[in-house]
């Protein structure tokens, strides 16, 4: 990149007020478009988003993975409501034969925005496919 034209230009422009050249006008037009697009998207989001409270759905997802004799059950949690939720607590319980023979796992998701979904794993010592697996959202803030 040759330096002298830029340097001379910057030096001269620093000295005196000048008219905008067409490159600067193009920059302004592009900049206005970017800013207006952002404002438009915010208004679109404002008009279309239902400002309902968080509605949290959790369910098992995918296949159970076996790693070193432990069973990894994937899950997916989604906030289908119109507002965010903090400290979302998910509880999963696996009953194999009787209620006494139950494994319980807990997860805490620190933040879930409206429309956001997150995934994770519960780890059991028994195969979830051979028992009754229940997952529910216990609380949020």
Partner 1 sequence: MQDSSSPNSVWQAELLNLLRGASGGFLFGLPLLYTVEVWWIGSSTTPAWMLLSLGITFFVIYLLNQSEGFRSSLDIQLIDALMETVEAMAIGIVCALLALILLCRITLDTPLNEALGKLVLECIPFSIGVALARSTLRGDRVPRTVKKTRRLPKNSIFQALIADLDATLIGALIVAFSIAPTDEVSLLSASISPLWLLLIIVASVIISYCIVFVAGLTNQKERRQQQGLLQRPINETLICYLVCLLASALMLWFFQQLSWDDPWQEWLSETIILGLPATIGGAAGRLVI
Nearer to partner 1, 53 or 136 (CB): 53
Alpha-carbon torsion 66, 67, 70, 73, what sign?
A: negative
Least CB distance to partner 1 at residue 36 (A): 9
Q: Is 50 in the site for partner 1 (CB under 8 A)?
A: no
Rg (CA), the chain: 28
Nearer to partner 1, 95 or 117 (CB): 117
Q: Is 42 in the site for partner 1 (CB under 8 A)?
A: yes
CA distance 4 to 118: 53
Q: What angle do CA 110, 42, 36 make, to 5 degrees?
A: 140
Least CB distance to partner 1 at residue 69 (A): 23
How many residues belong to the site for partner 1 (CB under 8 A)?
Answer: 48
């Amino acid at each position: 990149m040759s330096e002298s034209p830029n340097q001379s230009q910057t030096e001269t422009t620093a000295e005196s007020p000048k008219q905008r050249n067409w490159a600067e006008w193009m920059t302004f037009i592009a900049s206005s478009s970017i800013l207006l697009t952002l404002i438009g998207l915010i208004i679109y989001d404002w008009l279309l988003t239902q400002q309902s409270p968080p509605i949290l759905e959790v369910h098992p997802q995918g296949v159970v993975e076996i790693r070193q004799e432990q069973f990894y059950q994937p899950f997916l949690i989604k906030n289908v409501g119109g507002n965010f939720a903090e400290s979302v607590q998910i509880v999963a319980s696996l009953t194999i034969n009787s209620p006494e023979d139950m494994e319980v796992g807990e997860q805490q998701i620190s933040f879930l925005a409206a429309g956001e979904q997150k995934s994770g794993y519960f780890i059991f010592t028994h195969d979830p496919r051979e028992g009754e697996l229940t997952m529910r959202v216990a609380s949020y803030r």
